[in-house]
A and B are shown apart, each in its own frame.
Chain A
Amino acid sequence: MRATLAAGRDYVGELWQAWNRFWFAPADPATLSLIRLLAGGMLFYTHLIWSRDLAGFIGPEGYIPVDFLRQVHTPPPTAELPNPAPLWSVWSLFFWIKSTWLLWTVHILALVVFLCLFVGLFSRTTAVLGFLLAVSYAHRVTPGSFFGLDKANCMLALYLMLGPCGARYSLDRLWKLRKGKDADPLPSPSANLAIRLLQIHLCIVYLFSGLAKAGGASWRGGSAVWWAAASYEYQSLDLTWLAGWPMLVALLTHVTVFWEVFYCCLVWNRFTRPLVLWMAVAIHGGIALFLGMITFGLAMIFANLAFVQPATVRAWMDPVARRVSLALVGRRVG
């Protein structure tokens, strides 16, 4: 009995240590900083495009007026609550904006915030503001004209808030160098926490995306890639030549489903991780190139960078960062 208790105590102790190593070990903020750079750019571009028809999509009237949308956000009446109010937790700045000048003012300020996040200026503050603004836009167009890009953008912005996303590859870093603070950014537990949460979130995304596909006859049967490629509205490059290659279509279809379902297992093993991540680049790159969803494809590739070690990121990025810092502050620092 005593031995069993001791074994149990050892197990819990080791589990707690492993949990601590996974979540709280300090990590170099290089990976988080790279994701900030790329996701910040994507957030800026995504929201810049709303400017082409801001009143139509985001304005108080627009294609889907705010009042109408709030009815959709209202739960059905019940005996206890015959006149329910719209869900308070579905929120957006744009639900309260009634005038065109205010709409444009907020939009321009939002673009400034996203631009600051992209270049890494006041990164910790703009990361929080960027997330709040990204959710504001996403809720304004959900349902109506949202799609996977909004989910990916909000996911990335959510975790950028949690860590020192401007520690590297940012104007914040250059500003510190200018003031003579040459010290390398310290490894940070919050950088690790942010990256870990993004990794787990991504695993959940792929798991349910794979399970949803597994429920469809064409994904199970092997023809789904054809149906996606045959959609004229999605097509950006002609894929109708696939009609003559049914085995290739079936292979691509099945590989996609299995890759999504098993991503959450295979991405943690250091031998299978490169394969899984290159598959992500191939699949999302294919979606970007052939199905016209360049932004969504890129955003998902950016999210997959969460699985790249900070040392690898530094090997890629530091030579560029050194050149930039040499040009701007006269010192070569990564």
Chain B
Amino acid sequence: MSKPIPTRPEPQSGQKPAPAAPAPKPKAPRKPSPWPWAPWVRVLVSLLIVFHIAAVFSAPWFLDLRGRDLYALPPRDAQGVTIPPQLVRPEQLEFEMPVLADGLARFFTHYDNLLFLNNGYEFFSPDPIWSHLIEFTVFDAANQPIVEGRFPDRRDQWPRLLYHRYMMLAEQSGDAELDGAPLKIADWLLQEYDGQRLTLRWVRHHLLQQQAVLDGKSPNDQSTYEVVATIERRRGEGTATVGAGDQIVVPGGGR
């Protein structure tokens, strides 16, 4: 049964019709939000997203700039050709400091460290270079060799990931920031094999030019290996004799 429609009362004759009260504006039904999270949650998460992405970006940006020698802008002539370094006085060099990248990296240091984000992503860069190997011989009290080994060595170190860890150890222990690491490795090997004396050789494996390979030379040719340092270490003495001068840090180590 339908409801009777209410009718407006007719104005009495001679009376001015009363002005109709403005009808209340019908409220548009509120559309349900397509987003499950409340606006304030989305704003908060958005701020965290911006913070996080800035942190992820700042670490490799700073490390990329730090690794370059572009801080000193080489002077150029009117044609834009770089003036040879021997013709340039040091005071003519202009130093460019990446202040923004540096500031951001400092600001985000702890956040990046906590989440292991403080990384560059320089895979095989700026250029693929030679490799390093560590060769060692451990001797007993009678001066007889107990063990001979090499890092990395694909015959002994398997599976490949383990081999790669030893390869990285040989490379990174030559980094300037790990100054002194070779002696620590020597100490560990002496302890591990219960030796009295250890000889540790740092070997650089040079890469061959394409033409050398075309001429028949093998990348594993003996001539491609160069001993760059030798360390003698005695258990408990805490002293080292270094064959190649007194420089233990191997230059050029890296990833």
B133 within 8 Å of A (CB atoms): yes
Among A61, A143, A197, contact of B172 (Cβ-Cβ < 8 Å): A143
In the bound complex, do residue A26 and residue B36 qualify as a contact, i.e. CB atoms below 8 Å apart?
Answer: yes
Residues of B35-56 contacting chain A, CB below 8 A: 35-37, 42, 45-46, 49, 52-53, 56
B191 within 8 Å of A (CB atoms): yes
A333 within 8 Å of B (CB atoms): no
With contacts A189-B37, A224-B127, A295-B161 taken as known, whether A144 is within 8 angstroms of B255 at the C-beta atoms is no
In the bound complex, do residue B205 and residue A233 qualify as a contact, i.e. CB atoms below 8 Å apart?
Answer: yes
In the bound complex, do residue A90 and residue B64 qualify as a contact, i.e. CB atoms below 8 Å apart?
Answer: no
Residues of A contacting B125 with CB < 8 Å?
209, 212-213, 215-216, 219
Among B133, B184, B211, contact of A233 (Cβ-Cβ < 8 Å): B133
A148 within 8 Å of B (CB atoms): yes
B23 within 8 Å of A (CB atoms): no
A62 and B181 CA atoms in complex are apart in Å by: 11
Residues of B contacting A148 with CB < 8 Å?
121, 123
B220 within 8 Å of A (CB atoms): yes
With contacts A68-B180, A151-B121 taken as known, whether A232 is within 8 angstroms of B131 at the C-beta atoms is yes
In the bound complex, do residue A19 and residue B208 qualify as a contact, i.e. CB atoms below 8 Å apart?
Answer: no
How many chain A residues have a CB neighbour from B under 8 Å?
82
Residues of A contacting B188 with CB < 8 Å?
56, 61-63, 65
Q: Which stretch from B6-14, B75-83, B89-97, B111-119 is at the chain A interface?
A: B111-119
Residue on A with the closest CB to B182? Answer: A63
Among A49, A142, A204, A209, contact of B162 (Cβ-Cβ < 8 Å): A49
B169 within 8 Å of A (CB atoms): yes
With contacts A209-B125, A216-B125, A246-B210 taken as known, whether A57 is within 8 angstroms of B114 at the C-beta atoms is no
A24 within 8 Å of B (CB atoms): yes
In the bound complex, do residue B173 and residue A64 qualify as a contact, i.e. CB atoms below 8 Å apart?
Answer: yes
In the bound complex, do residue A232 and residue B219 qualify as a contact, i.e. CB atoms below 8 Å apart?
Answer: yes
Q: Which stretch from A166-174, A177-185, A235-243, A270-278 is at the chain B interface?
A: A235-243
In the bound complex, do residue A200 and residue B53 qualify as a contact, i.e. CB atoms below 8 Å apart?
Answer: yes
A187 and B159 CA atoms in complex are apart in Å by: 40
A150 and B208 CA atoms in complex are apart in Å by: 30
A23 within 8 Å of B (CB atoms): yes
A129 within 8 Å of B (CB atoms): no
In the bound complex, do residue B45 and residue A68 qualify as a contact, i.e. CB atoms below 8 Å apart?
Answer: no
B20 within 8 Å of A (CB atoms): no
In the bound complex, do residue B68 and residue A68 qualify as a contact, i.e. CB atoms below 8 Å apart?
Answer: no
A228 within 8 Å of B (CB atoms): yes
A214-240 interface code vs B (CB 8 A; 1 in, 0 out): 011111000110111011111110001
Interface residues of A (CB under 8 A from B): 19-20, 23-26, 45-46, 49, 52-53, 56-57, 61-65, 68, 72, 87-91, 134-135, 138-139, 141-151, 154, 158, 189, 193, 197, 200-201, 204-206, 208-209, 211-213, 215-219, 223-224, 226-228, 230-236, 240, 242-244, 246, 249, 292-295
Interface residues of B (CB under 8 A from A): 34-37, 42, 45-46, 49, 52-53, 56-57, 60-61, 64, 67-68, 109-111, 113-116, 119-131, 133, 152, 159-169, 172-173, 175, 177-178, 180-181, 184-185, 188, 191-192, 205, 207-208, 210-211, 213-214, 219-220, 224, 255
A-B contact pairs, 19 of them (CB 8 A): A23-B42, A23-B46, A64-B169, A64-B184, A138-B116, A141-B165, A143-B178, A144-B168, A148-B123, A151-B119, A193-B45, A193-B49, A206-B121, A212-B122, A215-B68, A219-B126, A228-B124, A232-B131, A292-B163
Q: A63-B169, A233-B205, A244-B210 are in contact. List 18 more A-B contacts (CB 8 A).
A: A20-B34, A24-B36, A53-B162, A64-B178, A91-B113, A144-B172, A144-B178, A145-B172, A146-B168, A151-B121, A189-B37, A197-B52, A204-B53, A209-B125, A216-B126, A217-B126, A218-B128, A233-B152
Closest 3 A/B residue pairs (Cβ): A216-B126, A89-B113, A208-B60
